[in-house]
Structure 1
Amino acid sequence: MKLVYVFDAYCGWSHGFSGTLREVVSRHPELPVDVVSGGLFTGERRVPIHEFGYVQGANAKIAELTGAEFGDGYEKLIADGSFVMDSAAAARGVAALSQAAPDRAADLAIALQHAFYVDGLSLSDPATYREVAEQAGLDADAVVAAFEAPEAQAAAEADFHRAAELGVTGFPTLLAVDGDRVTALALGHGTADDIDQRLAALRTS
């Protein structure tokens, strides 16, 4: 069995799920985790953030429900409403980081969301991946090169396709995959205890 975490680095609810994901990973070191980017803001949805009028209200709700932090850097970045969330660029970055340390993909996804939602760093900027890689003790030059390589776009498209194949329609979604059996452990939000109960039920069924 393995876990598949389908998220979008520009999704506030995914950021809110970071604490739960970290706890689940620490409780279950025996379960490998695949991180899949869902592609929330692509195509016609790749527009300035002011066109999503609900962002501040949604973030307040996420913070209240999950305790997630939305930092000053993030508030400054989106203040004038012109910032564009490009999920394809973010997915390329997730792929580059995951390639550098596949066994740490979940932690790196959490770190990337912290870079955006707390520090206010753009996930379209190669410098963001350099910083995340350096903080994680990875080869920053290799991560940036991977982010900028054509293969990263192919990896992003493959992630979007995989998310659709898994039937995921909202983020974050945490799945348990055991052979052909796919079971949802969390949709949108959930606690580590909730997920433990579902895992225990799976293992006894």
Structure 2
Amino acid sequence: MSSTKPIRLTYAFDAFDAFDAYCGWCYGFGPALHEFAAVNADRIELRVLSGGLFTGRRALMDSADAATGLVALRSQPGANALDAAAAMQRAWYVDGRSLSDAAVYRDIATELGLDADAVGAAYVSPAARTEAEADFLQVRRLGVDGYPTLLLHTAHGTDRQGGPVSSADALTRALDQHLAAAAAA
């Protein structure tokens, strides 16, 4: 393990950190992001925030429900937010399950080795919904306007590090370039 402080990154996806569970591009980006995170685990701290792609009275798919599910999952001891997001995407894209159904999150919790009762209780709690809405605001404050987005946090703000067609190797090269530039400064 490196003795230096990990570089902080934020993954925004719609209903999946600066990602949204309902965002097809986020689903496609998932494998590259997982590989990047695994290869660089000792150098990065990855935060997953929901972006809120589909919200409001006219939304047919409710990103707020999916974001609340992510909060319920990631708030459990031993949870990995990126794995939770991927499991949610599998539930939607592969299994065709609703991300507005509390039973889905209980099943995902079991799959991930988390306490299903605690996840179920968290999903229906007002605090989880409030935290999900706070994620939406945080993503907007970070200037994210498309999903998926991977942001690198620096002393000068945030820099976008790749997007839906980036490979794990390209993401690692971008991280290496940032670290080299920071060391030279």
**TM-score interval for Structure 1 and Structure 2 normalised by the shorter chain:** 0.7 to 0.9
Q: Normalization by structure 1: what TM-score?
A: 0.78
Q: Would you say the 8 A contact 1:170–1:187 is kept in 2?
A: no
Residue aligning to 1:70: none
Residue 64 (structure 2) pairs with residue 88 (structure 1): yes
Residue aligning to 2:51: 38
Q: Amino acid of the residue matched to residue 47 of structure 2?
A: D
Q: Would you say the 8 A contact 1:37–1:156 is kept in 2?
A: yes
Q: Normalization by structure 2: what TM-score?
A: 0.87
CA distance in 1, matches of 2:171, 2:58: 31
Please give the residue correspondences for 1:27-176 in structure 2 after superposition, counting only pairs within 5 Å. Answer: 27-30=39-42, 31-47=44-60, 85-101=61-77, 104-176=80-152
CA distance in 2, matches of 1:45, 1:38: 17
CA distance in 2, matches of 1:184, 1:102: 28
Which ranges of 4 or more aligned residues in structure 1 deviate by more than 4 Å?
Answer: none
* 1:183 to partner: Cα distance: 1.3
CA distance in 2, matches of 1:189, 1:101: 32
Residue aligning to 2:21: 9
Q: Would you say the 8 A contact 2:10–2:46 is kept in 1?
A: yes
CA distance in 1, matches of 2:174, 2:41: 17
Residue aligning to 2:3: none
Q: Secondary structure at the match of 1:122?
A: coil
CA distance in 1, matches of 2:105, 2:79: 18
Q: Would you say the 8 A contact 1:129–1:144 is kept in 2?
A: yes
Structure 1: runs of 5+ lacking an equivalent: 48-84
* 1:152 to partner: Cα distance: 1.0
State percent identity of aligned pairs: 45
Q: Secondary structure at the match of 2:108?
A: helix
Q: After superposition, what is the alpha-carbon deviation per residue over 1:172-199, rounded to whole angstroms, capped at 9, x for unaligned?
A: 0011113443111122331111111110
- Number of residue equivalences: 168
CA distance in 1, matches of 2:78, 2:65: 19
Q: Amino acid of the residue matched to residue 137 of structure 1?
A: G
Q: Compare relative contact order (CA 8 Å, sep 6+) and give the higher one, 1 or 2.
A: 1
Q: Would you say the 8 A contact 2:64–2:129 is kept in 1?
A: yes
Structure 2: runs of 5+ lacking an equivalent: 1-6, 14-19
* Greater per-residue helix proportion: 1
